[in-house]
Amino acid sequence: MHTIDTISHLRDYLWQAKLEHKVIAFVPTMGNLHEGHLQLIDRALEEADLVVASIFVNPLQFGPREDFNGYPRTFMADQEKLMSRGCHVLFTPTVDEMYPDTKISSTIVKVPHLDHLLCGATRPGHFTGVATVVSKLFGIVQPDVAIFGLKDFQQFLVIQQMTSDLCLPVRIIGAAIARAENGLALSSRNGYLSTSELQQAAQLQASLVAARLALESGNADMQTIEEEAQQALEGAGFRRDYFTICRQQDLQPATKEDKQLAIVAAAYLGGARLIDNIRFTLP
Ligand code: PAF
């Protein structure tokens, strides 16, 4: 695996692959890699001749009181994991390399109909930071295909919309959520949880499954289903953020007529804010 930290060296390296018409798949990450990320690499290897991963903790997507400084940086372990999984190229730019003049971006990419909802309401500016850095990374790597985990379903929709609106020739693939044995979605932020909190955290997926079963059994009282889920989460030690039954395509609140649904949730446990979702079609 080649590890490259400048845009110009990466472009030089990828130039040959592009001349040879190799299919390039891209997996952007912020590092602190777990099995979920590595499954994105597996998927990328199925799709392409050359797999590029990036590790960049993007300051633009963190709020002033969020964990940018404390975000775990585990470069050596990440490099090892990517190498053993068969990744071909690792791009690890510095903040100066990505945002040379100002440490932030003067051009931003905003996806207005999605970026203020749900996680965007709790984390103002977050999705603008994500859309901006991902469009920059797409410009640098120029992949044919990019793989994102569906745990961040709102992020996935933002990136899909941004790619389509900016006419970027990148196919976006959403990969299934990787879970621990107790159902907890794998996340870099699970590292903030104690052993007992890791057990309690299983309630997040359990609440999503219970809400789905209620809807599938014909219960159409969405407000009550959401409130019961919030209470179950509080009972397991979580603090509320949101638990919402929405339309899958645009995350607007679902009505009784909607069939393609996503139940999306975020909640605080100990020092972590966890997110998860479940997507399905009602008969
Ligand atoms: O999901 C992430 O790890 C980040 O939001 C991403 C897509 C790498 C952009 O910084």
pLDDT at 158: 98
pTM: 0.96
Residue 28 beta carbon below 6 angstroms from any ligand 1 atom: yes
Which pair of tokens denotes residue 226? 């959401």
Alpha-carbon span 230 to 115, nearest angstrom: 23
Domain ranges of the chain: 2-175, 188-275
Amino acid at 162: M
Residue 30 beta carbon below 6 angstroms from any ligand 1 atom: yes
Residue 58 beta carbon below 6 angstroms from any ligand 1 atom: yes
Determine the atom of ligand 1 nearest the C-alpha atom of 29: 8
Residue 158 beta carbon below 6 angstroms from any ligand 1 atom: no
pLDDT at 49: 98
pLDDT at 210: 98
9 is catalytic: no
Give the residue-averaged pLDDT of 27-51: 98
Match 């009282």 to its residue by tokens: 221
Which pair of tokens denotes residue 193? 């949880």
pLDDT at 105: 66
Contact 282, 259 (CB under 8 A): yes
pLDDT at 39: 98
Catalytic residue among 9, 21, 37, 116: 37
Residues 92-114: pLDDT tens digits?
Answer: 999 999 999 775 668 999 999 99
Which pair of tokens denotes residue 218? 């014909």
What is the DSSP secondary-structure string of 125-152?
Answer: THHHHHHHHHHHHHHHH--SEEEEETTS
Q: How far is the CA of 249 from the centre of ligand 1 (A)?
A: 20
pLDDT at 101: 78
Give the residue-averaged pLDDT of 47-75: 95
Match 């609440």 to its residue by tokens: 207
Q: How far is the CA of 96 from the centre of ligand 1 (A)?
A: 18
Other residues' Cβ atoms within 10 Å of the Cβ of residue 139: 11
Of 156, 188, 194, residue with least CA distance to 174: 156
Q: What is the CATH T-level fold of the domain 2-175, as seen in this structure? A: Rossmann fold (3.40.50)
DSSP state of 173: E
Residues 121-169: pLDDT tens digits?
Answer: 999 999 999 999 999 999 999 999 999 999 999 999 999 999 999 999 9
Q: Which CATH number fits domain 188-275: 3.30.1300.10, 3.40.50.280, 3.40.50.11740, 3.40.718.10?
A: 3.30.1300.10
pLDDT at 48: 98
Residues 166-190: pLDDT tens digits?
Answer: 999 999 999 999 999 999 999 999 9
pLDDT at 176: 97
pLDDT at 86: 98
Give the residue-averaged pLDDT of 265-283: 96
3-state secondary structure 64-92: CCCCCCCCCCCHHHHHHHHHHHCCCEEEC
**Residue 83 reports pLDDT greater than 90:** yes
Residues 223-255: pLDDT tens digits?
Answer: 999 999 999 999 999 999 999 999 999 999 999
Topology agreement, domain 2-175 and domain 188-275 = no
